[in-house]
């Protein structure tokens, strides 16, 4: 009996491991920046000459959305961000990552602008400090400037309803 | 030398050559090219001129994973991010940072995943000890099987019944051939 049972158990264990492995997305690398202070920067704004720094948002719960006009998935999440901006639930700041200003402005002109401000990270240096490895990525930052959540890839209505907005509401009460 | 021995000696030599050559196939770090400078246009990236520093940069870059094409190091990858991270490594070397500091810089931003050699931690214990555990389990099973086979394989003396049965079979065969 044990002769058949041992390989069977081994097989089941391997299947369970493989099944779990298939469900994990290797593209989603957990960020070490969660619950750490959002890295500081001072960058030019896309539409205005004066600079933007994360400290300008102190006392607010806000989203930092990394985007670029060359990014296909950004177009996918764009309607979601536009809808969110309309509700006024949470301020959205854009980090325009490795883009050309003219392209970025044209893109926002064509598809609409959900961002209160877009900071220009032309060489991607701030992106590296935020551990950005693909666009889009979105950070939820609390009143004290601590990163509380990172969305890798497009912001979906589900992620917004299930994770981002409930967490933002809790943070708002703090 | 007999022909059989010669063939097995040749096999052994070929195998040894293959094993010896394996690391050379497995990884060939890309040489430091001036391309990296171009990838980072409009910005002064210090050029690594002296070969010792260049070698150090490539060595470090070969230990860091590119997060875009995850099975490549930033030295191998052509991804934009890899070029940026290479520029970071070189810049920090030029600033006199140690290898440890540069790796810590990467880990602080991208997590342990950026290291090709994961650190030994509570969460990585199984990863590090897994191969040894599997080997020991295999060894244990091998020894057990061999022991059991030895006990089963021991010739046991024929009983009277065995002999009678053998005689019957032999007689039957004789009868058939006649």
Residues of B in contact with A129 (CB under 8 A): 109
Strand-pair partners of A139: A64, A150
Can you say how many angstroms the Cα of residue A9 is from the centroid of all Cα atoms in its chain?
Answer: 41
Q: Quick check: bond before A136 cis, omega within 30?
A: yes
Residue A103 lies in a domain: yes
Residue A29 lies in a domain: no
Average pLDDT over residues B34-48: 46
| ipTM score | 0.83
Q: What is the pLDDT of residues B80-92, one digit of tens each?
A: 999 999 999 999 9
Residues of A in contact with B85 (CB under 8 A): 128
**Do A127 and A97 form a contact (C-beta atoms < 8 A)?**
yes
Judged against a pLDDT cut of 60, whether residue B26 lies above it is answered with no
Residues of B in contact with A124 (CB under 8 A): 80-81, 84
3-state secondary structure of A149: strand
d(CA B178, CA B172): 10
Residue A139 lies in a domain: yes
d(CA B134, CA B132): 5
In this prediction, residue B49 has a pLDDT band, given cuts at 50, 70 and 90, of low
∠ CA A81-A32-B68, rounded to 5°: 70
d(CA B163, CA B174): 16
Q: In this structure, is the dihedral angle defined by the CA atoms of residues A23, A27, A32 and A36, taken in order, positive or negative?
A: negative
According to CATH, the topology of domain B24-119 is Helicase, Ruva Protein; domain 3 (1.10.8)
User: Is A32's CB within 8 Å of B70's CB?
Assistant: no
Q: What is the CATH number of the domain that holds A114?
A: 3.40.30.10
Strand-pair partners of A23: none
**Least Cα separation, residue B126 to chain A (angstroms):** 14
Residue A111 lies in a domain: yes
**Cross-chain CB nearest to B84 (options A29, A124, A130):** A124
- Which of A27, A66, A133 has the highest number of chain B CBs within 10 A, making it the mutation to test binding with B? A133
Judged against a pLDDT cut of 60, whether residue A117 lies above it is answered with yes
The two three-digit tokens of residue A41, written as one number: 């920067």
User: Is B68's CB within 8 Å of A134's CB?
Assistant: yes
pLDDT greater at residue B174 or residue A100: A100
Q: What is the pLDDT of residues B95-105, one digit of tens each?
A: 999 999 999 99
């Amino acid at each position: 009996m044990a002769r058949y049972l041992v390989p069977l158990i081994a097989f089941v264990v391997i299947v369970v491991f493989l099944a779990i492995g298939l469900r994990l997305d290797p593209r989603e690398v957990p960020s070490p920046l969660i619950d750490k202070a959002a890295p500081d920067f001072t960058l030019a704004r896309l539409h205005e000459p004066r600079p933007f720094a994360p400290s300008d948002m102190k006392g607010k719960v806000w989203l930092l959305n990394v985007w670029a006009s060359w990014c296909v998935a950004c177009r996918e999440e764009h309607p979601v961000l536009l809808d969110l901006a309309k509700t006024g639930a949470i301020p959205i700041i854009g980090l325009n990552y490795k883009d050309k200003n003219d392209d970025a402005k044209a893109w926002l002109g064509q598809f609409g602008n959900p961002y209160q401000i877009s900071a220009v990270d032309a060489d991607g240096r701030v992106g590296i400090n935020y551990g950005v490895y693909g666009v889009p990525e979105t950070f939820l930052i609390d009143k004290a400037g601590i990163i509380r959540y990172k969305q890798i890839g497009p912001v979906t209505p589900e992620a917004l309803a299930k994770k981002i907005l409930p967490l933002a509401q809790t943070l708002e009460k703090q | 030398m007999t022909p059989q021995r010669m063939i097995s000696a040749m096999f052994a030599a070929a195998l040894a050559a293959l094993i010896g050559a394996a690391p050379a196939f497995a990884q060939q770090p890309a040489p430091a090219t001036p391309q990296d400078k171009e990838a980072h246009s409009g910005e002064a990236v210090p050029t690594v001129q002296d070969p010792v520093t260049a070698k150090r940069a490539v060595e470090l870059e070969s230990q860091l994973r590119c997060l875009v094409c995850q099975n490549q190091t930033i030295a191998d990858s052509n991804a934009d991010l890899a070029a940026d991270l290479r520029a970071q490594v070189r810049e920090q070397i030029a600033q006199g940072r140690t290898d440890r500091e540069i790796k810590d810089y990467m880990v602080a931003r991208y997590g342990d995943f950026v290291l090709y050699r994961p650190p030994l931690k509570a969460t990585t214990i199984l990863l590090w000890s897994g191969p040894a555990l599997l080997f020991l389990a295999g060894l244990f099973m091998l020894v057990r099987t061999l022991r059991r086979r030895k006990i089963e394989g021991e010739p046991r003396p024929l009983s009277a019944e065995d002999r009678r049965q053998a005689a019957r079979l032999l007689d039957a065969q004789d009868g058939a051939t006649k």
